[in-house]
Copies of this chain bind each other. A is one copy, B any other.
């Protein structure tokens, strides 16, 4: 772990989003107006460390401050399906709220800093108001829309393009080369995991990325991705409007 972050390794330090320099990342736009959000900073998760396990009791939602988390399920046949990739600012754990326990598992893909939002909120917490529930409801809505779109598209290329495009748009660093803008981003997940998310085999994802590369749409070497910045409507494909990777 070359660039381990020590500063926030405090275990379960109490916090409030209003005092957090990352607040704007977690609660953007119209959501920002709300009141206090009572969270606890958790110890940094190392790659591969679980955030929760299948069967565990649901007692909190989580916000990603830094890093990347994979939420996945293993069915009876041992087949893994990735339900969500969550990055900085994303909310995690909503799907377990109604059921009361986790059916899925969540692990860190890279070193990750997480804030814990106890749920249901303790009665003593004044912030347990309509504003918080409504913010969460909006997040849930966004995730529903996203899931609706994460269905296998007609063409694996369209799926992979959409996935990488969204990832780069959310996390990537802009690079101007001539008159074009490219986005550079290290992929936090393997080809296999991308396949498990999109519903294709590892090899299909691999070949798809190669096709996109030979089209000049992007450049990949290992986990390093450089992709053309999407200009409104995705060109060269009937790919629907950019699909949010997570929320």
Contacts and interface: CB of A to CB of B under 8 A. Distances in A.
Contacts of A140: 94, 137, 140-141, 144
A238 B8 CA distance: 44
A236 to B, nearest CB: 13
Given A128-B130, A130-B129, A141 B98 contact: yes
B240 A141 contact: no
Interface string A205-247: 0000000000000000000000000000000001110000001
A176 to B, nearest CB: 30
B98 A138 contact: yes
A103 B148 CA distance: 11
A1 to B, nearest CB: 31
B238 A77 contact: yes
Interface of A: 73, 75-77, 79, 81, 83, 94-99, 103-104, 120, 128-130, 132-134, 136-145, 147-148, 151-154, 199, 238-240, 247
Contacts of A240: 75-76
A199 B83 contact: no
B95 A145 contact: yes
A130 to B, nearest CB: 5
Contacts of A137: 97, 133, 136-137, 140
A61 to B, nearest CB: 10
A188 B54 CA distance: 35
B148 A147 contact: yes
Contact of A154 (B79, B98, B138, B145): B79
Contacts of A75: 153, 238, 240
B199 A99 contact: no
Contact of A142 (B98, B104, B129): B98
A145 to B, nearest CB: 5
Contacts of A145: 95-96, 98-99, 103
Contacts of A97: 137-138, 141
A94 B144 contact: yes
Given A96-B141, A130-B130, 16 more contacts: A75-B153, A76-B239, A94-B140, A95-B148, A97-B138, A98-B139, A98-B142, A98-B247, A99-B141, A104-B148, A133-B137, A136-B137, A140-B144, A147-B148, A151-B151, A152-B199
